[in-house]
Chains A and B, each alone.
Chain A
Amino acid sequence: MKSTEDMEKFVADAKPHVTTGESMDKRVLQDSFAAMDEKCRVGLAPPSLIGGLKPTLRFAKLAVAAAVIIAIGVFLTRDRQEPSQPAPPQPAVQAPTAMLSMMSLRTTYQRGGWDALDRQFRDTLDQFGPVASGLSMRQLLEGPNGS
């Protein structure tokens, strides 16, 4: 008496081992190649390198879910952010020759008012010292005339 497991093993082990004959191989391959040639002649649509990766409904659902999660994350992160400190006003110009030109003074005043102007004056003094040696009035005023 064989049990179910024994029967399963018996069927699996008794798999017939057959080999195809040479004539069969020749016939199958010849006819298959002919069918392939015929298909190629009619028009072989080359598959893309990522063949099979089609935008299915599943992908669309995943994309929508990802977009919703990202949007919620951005929203929560923005709400939790501390109110940012105002950045310290940057000097309008960095080049020494332009630090006291009319254009730079006007720009500095527009950006930071009198405090910014005062800061720029002090920076200028730090760099040039009390005497602006080598800096002519013409150079100081260049800018307003566009020269």
Chain B
Amino acid sequence: MIDEKILVWRFNRGSKDALRRIYEKYKDDLLALALTLLRDRSMAEDVVHDVFVAFAAGTGAFRLSGTLNGYLSTCVANCARDRNRLKAGRNAGLDGAEAVACGFDGPLESAARREESGRLNNLLAHLPYEQREVLVLHLQHQMRFREIARSLGVSINTVQSRYRYGLDKLRSVFNSTVTE
């Protein structure tokens, strides 16, 4: 936490090294989040790019109220939502899920893990974007409901109900695929 504060303080002083370290620290997590939400690698990369460029442009005036990870994850989620609205006309279908599965880098990743992640992304594709967003932010990025509600501009009850409905739907889809 103190490291983050120091990094942010240096970043606000115009330190490029601080910005580089922030990017190195969070880039993979943020890309994973964008990829899960958008299910398109190139769009996810664009989202992370846009978030960091906007973040860099705010140097000197940036105020950190929570955690840096939470702040950047929120920015990625918001940006991904905008992108998702733009591509709403186009149906991503399961082709997007394939793009996610292909998006894993690193030869050391086990095949089982890839398969599990790909399976989850297929399941998540059945959920409305809002529910998927809450599930991923809460379970994979450890953001609290209150934090998510504040970043999305909705009430905490809304976030909790999205989470509950999303989880129920995910479970029913999962069970139906198992029984088939």
Residues of A within 8 A of B (CB): 1-4, 7-8, 10-21, 24-25, 27-29, 31-33, 35-36, 38-40, 44-47, 51-52
Q: A17-B109, A28-B23, A35-B57 provided; 9 other pairs, C-beta below 8 A?
A: A4-B167, A7-B171, A15-B36, A18-B105, A19-B106, A29-B23, A35-B53, A35-B56, A40-B60
A32 touches B52 (CB 8 A): yes
A46:B57 contact, CB within 8 angstroms: no
Taking chain B's interface residues, is the majority helix, strand, or loop, or is none over half, making it mixed? helix
Contacts of B170 in A (CB 8 A): 7, 11
Q: In the complex, which residues of chain B have a beta carbon less than 8 angstroms from the beta carbon of A36?
A: 14, 16, 19, 56-57, 59
Binds A, one of B24-32, B66-74, B153-161: B24-32
Given A8-B167, A16-B36, A19-B106, A44 contacting B139 (CB threshold 8 A): no
Who on chain B is nearest to A36 by CB? B56
User: Mostly helix, strand, loop or mixed at chain A's interface?
Assistant: helix
User: In the docked arrangement, what's the CA distance between A38 and B52, Å?
Assistant: 14
Are B28's CB and A17's CB within 8 A? yes
Is B38 interfacial (CB 8 A cutoff)? no
